[in-house]
Chain A
Amino acid sequence: AGVTQNPKFQVLKTGQSMTLQCAQDMNHNSMYWYRQDPGLGLRLIYYSFDVKDINKGEISDGYSVSRQAQAKFSLSLESAIPNQTALYFCATSGYGFLTKNIQYFGAGTRLSVL
């Protein structure tokens, strides 16, 4: 299956909270969360090189993450605001000498905050 994201679509009202789930069966150590906005490419929110490692990315404000297991990495919005409307992608990487940081992406979660 590779990288699985749930849900695929979500509509929230301002102030609501939710958690985006990501699971991978590629036995990768590293996992990432990105958001894509029209015309802005992919921007890194949080990343984790292993279960006990969590790091902020370029745009972490308003988000939190949890690495529940090597295979699972979730992204939470505690109090959603309209400018968090975007397409969210989870990615994984083996991050090794041979594999470098070739990342493999899930199909994405389209989030709308009204």
Chain B
Amino acid sequence: DQQVKQNSPSLSVQEGRISILNCDYTNSMFDYFLWYKKYPAEGPTFLISISSIKDKNEDGRFTVFLNKSAKHLSLHIVPSQPGDSAVYFCAASAWNYGGSQGNLIFGKGTKLSVKP
């Protein structure tokens, strides 16, 4: 049973427009959420995170929104650039429960293509 779901395998966006990547989760214990970006032939790199005590976190062009009641988070990239083309993974953990509960559970990823 998938605890973290990214229902869109791919997304195509025009350069300069907004990219919105979505992620849903089922485990109510999850209290810390992360987004990773992965280029081909490289390992995933940490992008941005959010704690469940917040509903928004910004870092430059990247903003993550968390809707706890809907068990939904999204990553907004504004404006999108061709260099943002990559696979984006959503991850979640039950950090405050400690131990193995803090392990990350990853979604299957969404491949973003930003066209010039």
Residues of chain A having any CB pair with chain B under 8 Å: 3, 32, 39-44, 47, 55, 57, 89, 91, 95, 100-108
- Interfacial chain A residues near B100, Cβ < 8 Å: 47, 55
Say yes or no for B7: interface residue by CB 8 A criterion. no
B79-99: CB near A (< 8 Å → 1, else 0) gives 000000000010001010000
Range, interface on chain B: 20 to 34
- Interfacial chain A residues near B46, Cβ < 8 Å: 102-104
The A interface is mostly helix, strand or loop, or mixed, namely: strand
Partner of B93, one of A40, A47, A101: A101
Residue in chain A with minimal CB distance to B100: A55
A101-B104 contact, Cβ under 8 Å, with A42-B89, A89-B44 = yes
A107-B43 contact, Cβ under 8 Å, with A100-B95, A101-B32 = yes
